[in-house]
Structure 1
């Protein structure tokens, strides 16, 4: 007897729509859900949003994807839920942010766009794993991840540990900045490309 699918095909289609990046031209649009309900439903959502973070959460492929929601009221007093960039977490014995493994490694650059001698092997929203070539390993690191057709993404971290493979781990700053949001969007887009959702049969 087969187990019932965790997500229906309609739910997977909805999440797939959320994962589709907005087209480049024109201003970016924030995806949203319209709230249809009576006064009690709206009052409940308003109270919940005032006291805690509303989210949509999905579990699949050993991962948890959590979309933050922002309750918005328009001039006609209609409510909608704006959907923010999600957090993707690998689930197992210990949970950790999803990381992109890069093979081959990507050469990071300095502020002037020149080669830094540091090569990126893996990347998450909270840390990076790099190879430092022909120089001393710095305790603090500020370098840029090149992006095709757009500005590079700044990576700013503090030395966390060294590995047996002669790689170095840096913990990225947890402060919410323009750079951290760009990194979060980039990582989610990479996750979407590597993990196309398929409905369960």
Structure 2
């Protein structure tokens, strides 16, 4: 190779391999959205998404998945609609957020990562069902960390709603941090994919 070349042959080979790697050329199909309805429909959806909350709703058996649509600008300054993380609801006597029943309860942790007496049995993006171990009176509010195995921990702030027939306590989540809410929704969506792969195929 010429001594004034900017890249070595190994670097050139690496770039060539990266360019032709089919795994790296796959788009994230779950987050992109192409609208093939003509310019008028695209313009209408873009205007609506720019001024108000725009969603797509899907019905599956007794569940509703509501996907928010966001306007994003690419590197060429073209504006596209992108699907956000869905909220999942279940039908019944009343529509409520889908609850993920954990196979094994997960202890909420304090800021140092030490387990507390509060163990999560079910979680949704709006609330948690908690077992309180030991002789502790349920607090009116809590601010602790949810650390399911294999996931980055998520800050939860809850307000006591009621005790159920099984002696578990329902807490409504009051998430003030949008990033924490998004991470909780991502966790719930990932678990929903594992439980209902046919919906997400």
TM-score by length of 1: 0.75
Contact 1:156 1:173 (8 Å CA) reproduced: yes
Shift of 1:64: 0.6
Q: 1:153 to 1:198 in 2, by over 3 A?
A: closer
Which residue of structure 2 aligns with residue 4 of structure 1? none
CA RMSD, 1 decimal: 2.6
Give 1:114-133 correspondences, 5 Å limit.
114-133=114-133
Give 1:79-90 correspondences, 5 Å limit.
79-90=79-90
Rounded to whole Å, the distance in 2 between the matches of 1:73 and 1:119 is: 42
Q: 1:44 to 1:115 in 2, by over 3 A?
A: closer
Q: 1:161 to 1:78 in 2, by over 3 A?
A: same
Consecutive aligned runs of 4 or more in structure 1 exceeding 6 Å deviation: none
Instruction: Give ranges in structure 2 of 5+ residues lacking alignment.
Output: 1-22
Larger-gyration structure (1/2) = 2
Give 1:136-175 correspondences, 5 Å limit.
136-175=137-176
Contact 1:110 1:116 (8 Å CA) reproduced: yes
Shift of 1:80: 2.1
**Larger relative CO (CA 8 A, sep 6+): 1 or 2?**
1
Rounded to whole Å, the distance in 2 between the matches of 1:29 and 1:64 is: 20
Mapped pair 1:53 → 2:56: no
Which residue of structure 2 aligns with residue 42 of structure 1? 42
Rounded to whole Å, the distance in 1 between the matches of 2:113 and 2:67 is: 34
Contact 1:30 1:82 (8 Å CA) reproduced: no
Which residue of structure 2 aligns with residue 6 of structure 1? none
**Count of residues paired in the alignment:** 173
Rounded to whole Å, the distance in 1 between the matches of 2:119 and 2:48 is: 44
Instruction: Give ranges in structure 1 of 5+ residues lacking alignment.
Output: 1-22
Rounded to whole Å, the distance in 2 between the matches of 1:63 and 1:43 is: 30
Which residue of structure 1 aligns with residue 5 of structure 2? none
Q: 1:29 to 1:197 in 2, by over 3 A?
A: closer
Shift of 1:56: 2.1
Contact 2:87 2:97 (8 Å CA) reproduced: yes
Contact 1:34 1:79 (8 Å CA) reproduced: no
